[in-house]
Structure formats: C-alpha cells, structure tokens
Structure 1
Amino acid sequence: MIAVVRLILLVLFFIGSTIAGILVCLVRPFHRNNVALFSHWYGRVSWILGISVEIRHDAAIAANTPYVFIANHQNNLDLFVMSGSVLPGTVTMGKKSLKYIPFFGQLYWLSGNIMIDRNNKNKALNTMLAAAERITHKNLSVWMFPEGTRSYGRGLLPFKMGAFHIALEANVAMVPVCMSTTHQQVKLNRWNNGKVIIQMMAPITLSPADNLRQFAEKTRQHMAAQIQLLDTELGNDYTASKTPLKE
C-alpha cells in the first residue's frame, strides 16, 4: 500500500513540477540558476521515498566559483536524492537523447543543461570544448557523472576522461561528490528507508603536466574510499565497492 501511494505522489510531482518548470523556463530560458532551482525541487522528493538526506560541504568550496563537479552515479534514485546538493550557477551534462523524452526532455534542455552526442566523437568533443568556454565566460559550474552510466551496485566504475578534459581546458578545480550507497537500500513498500549522506569533497586541481588517466584513477580511488567510509558510518551492508574492477 505504501508503494502505491508513493508512486501516485511521484506521478503527481512529475506532472506538477514539469508544468511549473516549463512555465519558469518560458520566462527565463537557459537561466544560470534554473538547474539548481529544479534540482532542489527534485531533491525534496526524497521524503516521499522515506529517505533522510544529509549534505556535507567541504569548507574549501567557495561560493560563486566555477567548478567541474564529478559524482558517483548509482541508479534512478540519484535524481531524487543527489539533486538537492546542486549549487546555484551549475548546469549538468547529459546525453542528447534526453531531449526527446516528452516534456521532461524539453524542460532539461530549456533549463540550460548541456546535451552531448555520445555516438559522435567529433560532436562530443565540440560539446566539451563549448562547456569549457561556458565555464570560463559565464562563470558556470558543470556537473558530470564520470562513470558515464549507472553502476547498479557494481561499485564505482572506471572514469571516462571528458570531465577531466573540461576542467583542464577551463582551468578550474574539480569537486568530487560522493553519495553513500542506495543500491538495494531503498524499498518502496517500507516506510523508513534510512539515511543517505552526500559528501562534497575539497576541490582538487590538475595541470597540463598531469597524466589525465592516472589523475582520474587516483580520483576514482579517493572517491571509492570516501563512499566506503560513508557506508561504514551508516552501517550499510554493501561490499561491491570492495570488489576489484577490471579496467
């Protein structure tokens, strides 16, 4: 019964938030704070799912400073749990196919997010260069999932290089964002689904002298260790992050 009520509330939220969001975008299309505004709407849905969310910010993260945020991407719950941590002046980078999802896709585009064609390397490269230019000239931050796909309990997957190229091209620091494990931790028919912690870590910088792949792997290991610490703190029974991944 609880699951049915939650699904009804989620459907009503989707309809209401999409209509409201499109109306906002008609007034201020592609506004720098659209994504943060709508993300916080989605982040508040966590209570419907019976999830308590704690967001921790490292003191070194400066306000009104552009960054490339890199976060772990677990499953579809990310939309309702992690969204509340998106800071003003941040846009996300998503696959171009999202644009064709009725209503939500149009909202995603009008919000000012960056659409990337993963099937065309040349277009993808141009999109990343354009993202770096937006960071530099519009003082925007970009939020990315460097794994490139949802992990679904497989631990933190190997990182793709796009986010690191953008940070290097724009000459901005990167902020790792680690969310405790939600895989198999949330059940729609359970009233209380516990707590999730989102840790926004200290900014890290890279230079042209760095080996990007080594830097990316070191960052991934650092994030995997932080996620494991969060899981230990919460008492999550989860061991996939300890399983070695094949590169």
Structure 2
Amino acid sequence: MTASYTEIILAGCILILPFLYESSHVFRYHLKFFLYYSIVMINSVILIPVFCLNPWNVRNLLVASDFCHHISSLIGMRWILRGKEHLEKEQAAVIVSNHQSSLDILGIFDLWRVMDKCTIIAKQELFYAWPFGIAAWLCGIIFIPRVKSDTAKAVMNEALKKIKAEKTKLWIFPEGTRRNDGKIHPFKKGAFHLAISGQLPIIPVVYSRYYFLDKSVKRFDHGKVLITALPQIETKGMTLDDMGSLMEKVKNVISTTFHETSKEVVEGLNPISSQK
C-alpha cells in the first residue's frame, strides 16, 4: 500500500510539471537553470576519468563541449554565429567578450569546435564548485584569485607563455562581473595588459542581449542569441602606454556591435517593430 501511495504521488508530480512549466515563469526560470547546472555537474563526473588520461590539455574542452552543447536546445536557447572565419585561425590570441550571464558558457560550448584550441580565464571560486571545478581544471581552464593581485599576475604571466607556445586562444570577460542590463560596462585592464605584453591580437566577440532572461522577475523564456566574432585588432608595436586607447577602441566596437545585434534580434522576432 505504501508503495502504491508513493507511485501515485510520483505520478502526480510528473503530471503537474508541464502545467507548472507553462503557467509559472518563476518555476520555468528555476527549472531551466537547475537542468543546466545539473547536466554540467553530471557530465563533469562522467568526464573526469577521461580528462585524467590527458590532464591540463585544452583540447579536453572539445569533448566537454560535445557533451554539453545540447543543453542549449533543452532549455530553449539557439546560438547564431557570425564571423566564424575570425575564430578558425590557429594562433595565439586574446578573445574579449561581453559578459551577461553564466549562460555565456553555453555559447562558448557551441564555438569550441570552431576555435579548436581555446581556454578561459575564470575566477578561482569556480574551482571549488566540484565536480565542475576539477573537470575544468583538468581541461586547462585558468583560475585567477581576484583578491590577490600578485598571484593573479603570476598566473597570467605563466598562462601567456603557455598560450604563445601552444598557439592557443585565451577567452577573457573584461567586464569581470556579469550583468544583463543592456549595457557594456567598464573593462578591467588584465586582458589588454596580457595582449600587449605578449604582442597578441585581440579578437572581440559580442553576444547580443539576453532579452528573454530577467533575473529580477525570474523570467527565462525561449530565445536566440547572435554571437558576432569581429576582425582581430593587432597589438604589435604597442606598449603599455597604448593600453588606454586600445581598451577604448575594443570597448567601442563591442558596444556598437552589441546594440546593433541586440536590436536586430528583437526586431527579427517582432515583425511590427521591424517595419517601422
């Protein structure tokens, strides 16, 4: 009898899920993020033994992306890439991108096969989000302690040597904190200091706004995102004295592209507004 009650309760929960999903945007918001994080964690457990066979190799991230890129379809997101040719070249480069949400990583999962050898600068706190942190570490993700500037500089300098030697792209979010408020926020100097010190090109990558996501009201609808890879900006011959002008140049092209592509996505979804 106890078993039958349990089965009835379980069946009732399963039957009510579609109703809650369609009727409650708050439930839909939490469910989508739960699925996202849960699948990443499960995949991390599965892949850690595989990554241990070839530890700290950034090409492990290709395997991770194969396992995780389907999450986007599951939670109703579609990525559209423009400027693919700017990411395909085998070279050491610094990729700088705007940062709106943890969902940005799902976009990168869609790009890894295009970029081939690419790793990311991440805050050290993420390393302790096990098992994800261990899997990411074994993939060559570079964790930076944000409160210890001397240690962070040493880690960045070591990373610079490695990416130059192995012709690897390094993805950095120069805004630091992620914000989905329709603005491009001030950039931190780290990415630009690294690019100039290593005389590496900068490749700006721009995500259009997540119009379908609103953390304040817990809304997460279906949506599409334009990811635009722009022509690389050379740093050869630059010195650290040029860093301010370089930062301004990169921020301007990212901001302009962000607003243009965000408008395009919204108008593309709204025929009335696109006719105005």
Same fold? TM cut 0.5: yes
Q: For the residues of structure 1 that align with 2:86 and 2:206, how far apart are their CA atoms?
A: 16
Q: Is the 8 A contact 1:173 1:205 kept in 2?
A: yes
Out of 208, 225, 238, the residue aligned to residue 208 of structure 1 is 238
Counterpart in the other structure of 1:194: 223
**Aligned length, in residue pairs:** 234
Equivalence map 1:23-172=2 (5 Å) = 23-86=49-112, 87-153=115-181, 155-172=183-200
User: Alpha carbons of 1:8 and 1:74: their partners in 2 closer, same or farther (altered >3 Å)?
Assistant: closer
Cα 1:232–1:109 shift into 2, 3 Å: same
Cα distance, 1:10–1:223 mapped onto 2, change above 3 Å: closer
Distance 1:102 1:168, change over 3 A: same
For 1:202, the aligned partner's letter is: P
Matched letter for residue 194 of structure 2: I
Quickly say closer, same or farther: Cα 1:236–1:97, change in 2 above 3 A.
farther
Task: Report if the CA contact (8 A) 1:32-1:91 is conserved.
Answer: yes
CA distance in structure 1 between the partners assigned to 2:33 and 2:88 by the alignment: 38
**Given residue 248 of structure 2, which amino acid in structure 1 is its aligned partner?**
E
**Residue of structure 2 equivalent to 1:227:** 258
Counterpart of 1:208, as a letter, is M
Q: What is the rounded CA distance, in whole Å, between the counterparts of 1:185 and 1:5 in structure 2?
A: 13
Q: Which structure exhibits the higher relative contact order, with contacts defined as CA atoms closer than 8 Å and separated by 6 or more residues?
A: 1
Do the aligned residues in 2 keep the contact of 1:74 with 1:152 (CA within 8 Å)? yes
**How far off is 1:52 after superposition?**
1.6
Whole-angstrom CA distance in 1 between matches of 2:184 and 2:93: 21
- Decide whether the 8 Å contact of 1:40 with 1:85 is kept in 2: no
AA aligned opposite 2:53 = V
Counterpart in the other structure of 1:240: none
User: Aligned partners of 2:141 and 2:34: how far apart in 1?
Assistant: 28
Say which one has the larger Rg.
2
1:208 is displaced (CA, Å) by 2.2
Q: Deviations over 1:23-81 (max 9, x none)?
A: 22111111131124324533331111211211122534452212111111101221223
Deviations 1:58-105 (A, max 9, x none): 534452212111111101221223431232111111112211112111
Q: CA–CA distance in 1 between the matches of 2:248 and 2:66?
A: 30
TM-score scaled by structure 1?
A: 0.85
User: Any stretches of 5+ residues in structure 2 without a counterpart?
Assistant: 1-19, 22-27, 269-276
In the TM superposition, structure 1's runs of 4+ consecutive aligned residues that sit over 2 Å from their partners are 1-12, 39-44, 57-63, 79-83, 183-188, 207-210
Q: What is the rounded CA distance, in whole Å, between the counterparts of 2:182 and 2:149 in structure 1? A: 27
Q: Say whether 1:180 aligns with 2:208.
A: yes
- The CA RMSD measured in Å over matched residues stands at 2.3
- The residue type equivalent to 2:231 in the other structure is A
